[in-house]
Chains A and B, each alone.
Chain A
Amino acid sequence: MDREIIESHVTLEEYKKIVNLLGRKPNLIELGIFSAMWSEHCSYKSSRPHLSKFPTKAPWVVQGPGENAGIIMVDEEKEICAAFKIESHNHPSFIEPFNGASTGVGGILRDVFTMGARPIACMDSLRFGEIDNPKMKYVMKGVVAGISHYGNCVGVPTVGGEIYFDQCYQTNPLVNAFALGIVKKEKIFYAKAAGVGNPVIYVGSKTGRDGIHGATMASEEFSSEEEVGKKVNVQVGDPFVEKLLIEACLEAMKTEGIIAIQDMGAAGLTSSSVEMASRGNVGIKLELDKVPVREKGMTPYEIMLSESQERMVVVCEKGKESKIIDVFEKWGLDACIIGEIIEEAAIKLFWHNEEVAKIPINILTDEAPVYYRPFKTPKYIIENRNYIQNNITEPKNLNEITLKLLSSPTISKKQWIYEQYDHMVQINTAVYPGSDAAVLRVKGTEKGIAISSDCNSRYCYLNPYEGGKITVAEAARNVACSGATPKAITDCLNFASPEDPEIMWQFVKCTDGMADACRVLDTPVVSGNVSFYNETANKNGKRAIFPTPTVVCVGVLDKIENKTTKDFKNKEDIIILLGENSGNISGTEYQKLIQGEFKGTGQTIDLAFERILQKSIIEAISKNLINSAHDISEGGLAVTLFESAFDNNLGFKVRLDDEIRTDFLLFGEEQSRIIISVSPEKENETLEFFKIKTIPAKIIGKVTGKEGTILHKEKTVVKISIEEAKNIYESNLERKLEQ
């Protein structure tokens, strides 16, 4: 085989390893299989050594990483569990925003219902470049339309998400899709093949030429912006087929006989069949000429590497196949036997009865390369240590700054996005998008599930270790602010090229921080994925994204009627600040506004304090002490107060006396702070409660009037009518998009 063909699949080094392991040269089909299975996307070859530091166990964890999705217990008594996972679809979404994003939703839904869980919620974490860039407008509109198109049609509500706009995502937007489903513990299905002679059934859409080598593409950087337009391997999804597949799979799972089931995601039939066989220590034989194809003349190579959407593989008990096939046919889906489980632990492929490939399973999985990539502290980290925030001139008009922050695309209200998503279907959504966490009821129980997606990549860029900690802590804090106990996380680790030691350093430090936070906050990692190579070459070298380890935290509310939102509820309620101000503006939206870039050493967090803060807020909510809770995040204290005021059109008057420069005090984003509001008659009880918990709790003002007023040392520093601020906060995103 000539060198060019080899290098288009694997490195020469890896090729040598393949020849060595096989004891012969691979043919092209086999090489294609290796290239997919050994791709960064499927094999985690650069990240694996570092992922092992994540805690993955807790008494409530039913299934940790390694399956299609992670699973936690929600209702012990009724044995109701939640299965969830987040996954990236970054590269396809930049090439073809609509289909890239929509197939991202489709793929993550299949990971969830594959396990027997009915999907009840989706979320999406998005990152774009600056919104005034025309290309970004196009990408963002396409991504939102794609998510809307797919999620709405399959009938799974998109209940929330998060979105940031920063220059570094200009040529590398991120689309991370999350899905969560509900399943009874005894009804969980696994993707572990077993039983020699058992048939392998192919279900769903026909196989086409779309998406061939998608997994490999997702494991490379774009060599230029122009290259992006030339890529053709983005799949096209059909949510209608996905909806049929959901119903048919869940119905088929009720009949007896399914042993293992897995969706065909990245690397299609290759990874699904290999992974199923690998988990069960068996082999798999496939007759590729039996695979339903969309067009004539498809080769075994193309069939094995196609990433056509809405396809599943099922292994069932021999003799029970017809009943299972009947269910799929009832739903109008293709279902046919394409192979069987064999004793020899190998994947054997046949084409019209002729063996065209044979590879031992363990070579593809256990023997996949692992790279202990070198890492070193980046230059910018060292330079940033000299940053002094006091060099910023203090602005005179803080009303203007507050309004600018409220209208920044990252902070402003996202209803332009979430109103395009059906966020109510299935009638479980109890807290709608826009609060700190989405809350869903669990039908048939008193429980609620709270979900929050988070990652401030600016902090991760300036201080990857602390940023990693904060990512987990903030997602968990959002969940806690709704009244739910954070139980576990799923993560999507988006980074640039691991072959660059400075990027690898970001990865190592971020994951160190995340692991520490997960340990302290009792939120193990139960599923996730890694997306490297989020960088694009340009005239000045390359543009890498900020390290973006997106986290979705899932929590459980024992009594859903106790759910709390961010909004002030009543006039005259007392506003209390939990935690302490220090006025750190490094990595803040304010710093971006004033300085146009992120400098300094970022934000830091004390995890031990954070743990007590979260436990206390959850307990306070369960005791009905408080009427609202809102985590202080982007935009700082001032923005947080206004955000709490908008939904019910309630003004506030707040007095601060900290010995901190006013702009730093109002717009700093130091961690572990929550704004709560309480009824006047519960003021003393609440203060006493937090005192016992050793959490600093300070009355800073009350809900009153029609304006948002902040005094610092008796001087009015901000005074804006709620109506005016709300108008700007709610209209700006749409206005900018239409410009």
Chain B
Amino acid sequence: MIFGIPVYPGSNCDKDIGWIIEEVIHEKAKYLWHEDSNLNDIDCIIIPGGFSYGDYLRTGAMAKLSPISEAIYDFAEKGGLVMGICNGFQILLEMGLLPGAMLPNKNLSFICKFVHLKIENNSTPFSNLYEKEEVIYIPIAHAEGNYTCDRETLKEIEENNQVIVRYCSPEGIIDEKFNPNGSVNNIAGICNKKGNVFGLMPHPERASENILGSTNGLTMFKSILEIATGKA
């Protein structure tokens, strides 16, 4: 399976994703320069975290104008699997592939730490190997991860089971107390209606090896592999 990893100026988790793809799940990673637009042999796109275009203007706002982003838009429209992590999630929101927007964290600071997430929907291509309501341990690292959307959209994504992961306590309790950044309904990651586009603020690639303190994120990459090839 070939994973495409777009590289925008300022992306900084691209090589981390590439490492997990190649060295941990032993598949192929292909880096896609932001000026390219050829996605012919790509099976799944993972938009990495970082500070595309230095976060100038607004996180993700410049990146959506790159040629590669247009190609990703078409790829997603045709049903291709697209996952955006952290800045990748912000870019997907700016592109309109996912609903809603990001605000600065409620404490107005960058936050880097491990958090607990509850798997709310395990029937997507990105979460199918998790148990429903499983609690996973995984880091966040962002300054703008305070997810927000209008009331109607919120109602819609909740009713459609588009919320894939929510911030929770180690026991799985979802409460404002365990919400690190102020996201509405403790939302950490959502998918689109069709379920082929997924964005999340936490970094699964940072929790995919024992040496890093958790392997709970690896299941996300394996889920994709399972859907695409059945060999995870």
Contact = CB atoms under 8 A, between A and B. Distances in A.
Nearest to A333: B9
11 contacts: A149-B110, A152-B51, A152-B143, A239-B54, A240-B53, A240-B55, A241-B54, A331-B9, A419-B113, A421-B110, A421-B112
Interface string A419-444: 11111111101101000000001010
A238 B54 contact: yes
A240 B10 contact: yes
B16 to A, nearest CB: 5
Contacts of B50: 155
Contacts of B56: 240
Interface in A122-171: 145, 148-149, 152-155
A560 interface: yes
Top 5 A-B pairs ranked by shortest CB distance?
A: A155-B12, A240-B54, A153-B51, A422-B141, A427-B16
B111 A420 contact: yes
A419 B111 CA distance: 5
A726 interface: no
Nearest to B213: A432
Given A148-B110, A420-B111, A422-B110, 15 more contacts: A152-B51, A153-B55, A155-B13, A238-B54, A240-B51, A240-B56, A421-B110, A422-B141, A424-B141, A425-B49, A427-B205, A427-B212, A429-B212, A432-B213, A560-B211
Nearest to A155: B12
Contacts of B20: 427
Nearest to B14: A155
Contacts of B111: 419-420
A560 B211 CA distance: 9
Interface residues of A, number: 33
Contacts of B9: 240, 243-244, 331-332
A426 B54 contact: no
Nearest to B205: A427
Contacts of B143: 152
A243 B51 contact: yes
Nearest to B11: A155
A420 B109 contact: yes
B15 interface: yes
B137 interface: no
Interface string B110-130: 111100000000000000000
Interface in A325-369: 331-332
B16 A243 contact: no
A204 to B, nearest CB: 14
Interface in B2-51: 9-10, 12-13, 15-16, 19-20, 23, 49-51
A443 B35 CA distance: 29
Nearest to A563: B211
Interface string A397-425: 00000000000000000010011111111
A443 B112 contact: no
B110 A420 contact: yes
Interface string A239-275: 1110110000000000000000000000000000000
B231 to A, nearest CB: 24
B12 A424 contact: no
Nearest to B111: A419
B23, B56, B141 — which one has the most chain A CB atoms within 10 A of its CB? B141
Contacts of A426: 15-16
A422 B206 CA distance: 12
B209 interface: yes
B203 interface: yes
B60 interface: no
B139 interface: yes
A424 B143 CA distance: 15
A153 B211 contact: no
Contact of A430 (B49, B110, B211): B211
Nearest to B139: A424
A332, A425, A560 — which one has the most chain B CB atoms within 10 A of its CB? A425
Nearest to B17: A427
B110 A152 contact: yes
Interface string A510-535: 00000000000000000000000000
Contacts of B23: 443
Contacts of A419: 109, 111-113
B51 A424 contact: no
A483 to B, nearest CB: 14
B203 A424 contact: yes
A149 B111 CA distance: 12
A155 B23 CA distance: 21
Nearest to B7: A247
A152 to B, nearest CB: 6
Contacts of A152: 51, 110, 112, 141, 143
Given A148-B110, A420-B110, A425 B12 contact: yes
Contacts of B12: 153-155, 243, 425
Interface string B58-91: 0000000000000000000000000000000000
A243 B12 CA distance: 9
A427 B139 CA distance: 11
A418 B139 CA distance: 14
Contacts of B16: 425-427
Nearest to B33: A330
Contacts of A331: 9
B10 A430 contact: no
Contacts of B53: 240
Contacts of B19: 427, 443
Nearest to A415: B113
Interface in B201-215: 203, 205-206, 209, 211-213
B10 A153 contact: yes
Given A148-B110, A560-B211, A153 B54 contact: yes
B211 A243 contact: no
Nearest to A248: B9
A423 B9 CA distance: 21
Interface string B92-111: 00000000000000000111
Contacts of A239: 51, 54
Contacts of B209: 427
Contacts of B203: 424
Nearest to A153: B51
A429 to B, nearest CB: 7
Nearest to B208: A427
Contacts of B55: 153, 240
A238 B9 CA distance: 13
B110 to A, nearest CB: 5
Interface string A28-62: 00000000000000000000000000000000000
A52 to B, nearest CB: 40
B94 to A, nearest CB: 17
Interface in B174-232: 203, 205-206, 209, 211-213
Contacts of B109: 145, 148, 419-420
A427 B14 CA distance: 11
Contacts of B13: 155, 425
B152 to A, nearest CB: 34
Contacts of A427: 16, 19-20, 205-206, 209, 212
Given A153-B54, A427-B206, A560-B211, A422 B112 contact: yes
B9, B112, B213 — which one has the most chain A CB atoms within 10 A of its CB? B112
A422 B143 CA distance: 10
B112 A430 contact: no
Contacts of A243: 9-10, 12, 51, 54
A155 B12 CA distance: 5
Contacts of A425: 12-13, 16, 49, 141
A155 B7 CA distance: 13
Nearest to B51: A153
B147 to A, nearest CB: 19
A282 B28 CA distance: 48
A284 B49 CA distance: 42
A144 to B, nearest CB: 9
A152 B15 CA distance: 15
A425 B48 CA distance: 11
